[in-house]
Chain A
Amino acid sequence: MSQENQSTVNFTFKEAGKKVNGTAMLTLEGSLDADAAPILADELERRLVEGEKQVHLDLAGVGFISSSGIGSLIAAIGEYRDEGGDLILHRMSKELLHVFEMLGLLDYVNHQP
């Protein structure tokens, strides 16, 4: 089932119709800032509680990430891994990759081209 979130913040996500190895792919668009981060965190927590132990995130449409966005992703990755799963980050821009790299987080996250 496709699900879409739309709010006043410059951020949306929706579930892609096609699954990756049987697990969901969420496509994120916009700025992953202090307003958007709780929206994403709630969605990822809901999915984990409902038993989805692996979720793929397509970040090609994310043009900006703040500390709140980083914090939400890293905290969620820890929670998924604690349950034996993971979050896999896809299609991060060069600028986004550089942000993770400069923070020393690139080796911690599971990221794919």
Chain B
Amino acid sequence: MIVLSGIDPIRRRIHLTDVEGASIGCEDADKVGELMSQLGVRGFAVECNGNGAFQEDHLTHEWGIDGGYIQYNAVFAHSTESAGLVGEYAAIALATSGCMYPEALMQVRVALYELCHNSFDHGHPDAEPAILQLCIRLGPDRIEGWIQDQCQAFDPLANREKTIQEQIESGSRRGYGLSMVKRFLDELSHEYNEIGNHISFVKRIGS
């Protein structure tokens, strides 16, 4: 199994180790590159680094193993651009941890993109700097995690979801996001806490 020990989505670099923390060789790195290519993630140069933490101005990242789950914690500067990075980060982290369900990875990636985009669009106060925290955990039968923003209250579950037929007939380009989030994730909950919106999710895999 290959473990992602550091990631820099903006510069498109990743750092990989095995589960013992040892750097992996180029052969394995190439395999990860192939997997990323299959996932549609392009342009990554793979580097090796045995550390379990990684920090850049825009991102802090940690990984570890907790109760049979491989867990990643990352902090992003929150902007409309970060929605893409969060989804991409999650897909790469999960893929490089051995999750071999590309369809599940795509769905989690899309759902996180939509949730992050929504929370920023609907609830970000002015242009104040904000961060977005992501925790994502890969277990034997599920992907689970949460995102925490610093935005105003926005509950994605509170809005009525249009049916697909209504959506088609409306001719609108907007309004598919909530359908995608609800259909792609098996469990979803929202809480507004002292920091902002906290959204927990579960995606079951392999069943």
Tell me whether A15 is interfacial, beta carbon within 8 Å.
Answer: no
Q: How many residues of A contact B (CB 8 A)?
A: 32
Q: Cβ of A30: which chain B residues have Cβ within 8 Å of it?
A: 42
Cβ–Cβ contact B164 & A70, under 8 A: no
The stretch among B132-140, B169-177, B188-196 that forms the contact with chain A is B169-177
Cβ–Cβ contact A66 & B110, under 8 A: yes
Tell me whether A68 is interfacial, beta carbon within 8 Å.
Answer: yes
Cβ–Cβ contact A63 & B103, under 8 A: no
Cβ–Cβ contact A63 & B40, under 8 A: yes
CA distance A74 to B106 in the complex (A): 20
Known: A63-B41, A102-B183. A41 touches B102 (CB 8 A): no
Tell me whether B184 is interfacial, beta carbon within 8 Å.
Answer: yes
Q: Cβ of A99: which chain B residues have Cβ within 8 Å of it?
A: 106-107, 110, 180
Cβ–Cβ contact B40 & A75, under 8 A: no
Tell me whether B26 is interfacial, beta carbon within 8 Å.
Answer: no
Shortest CB distance B100–A (Å):
13
Q: How many residues of B contact A (CB 8 A)?
A: 33
Tell me whether B55 is interfacial, beta carbon within 8 Å.
Answer: no
Tell me whether A78 is interfacial, beta carbon within 8 Å.
Answer: yes
Cβ–Cβ contact A34 & B40, under 8 A: no
Tell me whether B72 is interfacial, beta carbon within 8 Å.
Answer: no
Tell me whether B168 is interfacial, beta carbon within 8 Å.
Answer: yes
Cβ–Cβ contact B106 & A67, under 8 A: no
Cross-interface CB contact of B106 among A37, A95, A103, A105, cutoff 8 Å: A95
With A66-B110, A103-B183 already in contact, 9 other A-B pairs whose C-beta atoms are closer than 8 Å: A34-B83, A62-B40, A63-B42, A64-B110, A67-B175, A74-B176, A94-B102, A94-B103, A96-B106
Which residues of B come within 8 Å of A, CB atoms? 39-42, 80, 83-84, 87-88, 102-103, 105-107, 109-110, 113-114, 117, 164, 167-168, 171-177, 179-180, 183-184
Which residues of A come within 8 Å of B, CB atoms? 10, 30-31, 33-34, 37, 41, 62-68, 70-72, 74-75, 78-79, 93-96, 98-99, 102-105, 108
27 sampled A-B residue pairs with Cβ under 8 A: A30-B42, A31-B84, A34-B83, A63-B39, A63-B41, A63-B42, A64-B110, A64-B113, A66-B180, A67-B114, A67-B179, A67-B180, A70-B176, A70-B180, A71-B174, A72-B173, A74-B168, A74-B173, A75-B171, A75-B173, A78-B171, A94-B102, A95-B105, A99-B180, A102-B107, A103-B179, A108-B168
